[in-house]
Amino acid sequence: MTQPNDEIDSAAREFFSYLNKRFLAAKGFKREGRIQESNNEILMAVEIGEEALDDNPKYYDDVYLLNLIARLHVARAENAPDGDMRRKNSKRAIELLRKACEIEPQNNITSTFLARLLIRKRDFEEALELLEGVYAREKPPNAAVLDNLCDIYLKSGQAEAALQMAEEFIAVYPHSHIAWNHKAQALLGLNNRPDAEVARQESMRLYELRRQVRASEDHAERAIRRDTGSSRGEGRI
Q: What is the 3-class SS of 66-123, one letter each residue?
A: HHHHHHHHHHHHHCCCCHHHHHHHHHHHHHHHHHHHHHCCCCHHHHHHHHHHHHHCCC
Superfamily of domain 141-237: Tetratricopeptide repeat domain (1.25.40.10)
* 100-118 tens-digit pLDDT: 999 999 999 999 999 999 9
Each residue of 157-199: pLDDT tens digit? 999 999 999 999 999 999 999 999 999 999 999 999 999 999 9
Which residues contact residue 36 at a Cβ distance below 8 angstroms, ignoring those fewer than 6 apart? none
Residue 4 has pLDDT above 60, yes or no: no
pLDDT tens track for 185-235:
999 999 999 999 999 999 999 999 998 888 887 666 666 666 665 544 443
3-state SS class at 230: coil
Residue 138's CB: how many other CB atoms inside 10 A? 14
Which percentage of the chain shows pLDDT scores above 90?
57
> Is a pLDDT exceeding 70 seen at residue 237?
no
* Secondary structure class of 210 (helix, strand, coil): helix
Candidates 200, 174, 172, 175; CA nearest to 186 is 200
Q: How many Å apart are CA 26 and CA 36, to the nearest integer?
A: 9
- Count CB neighbours of 219 within 10 A: 10
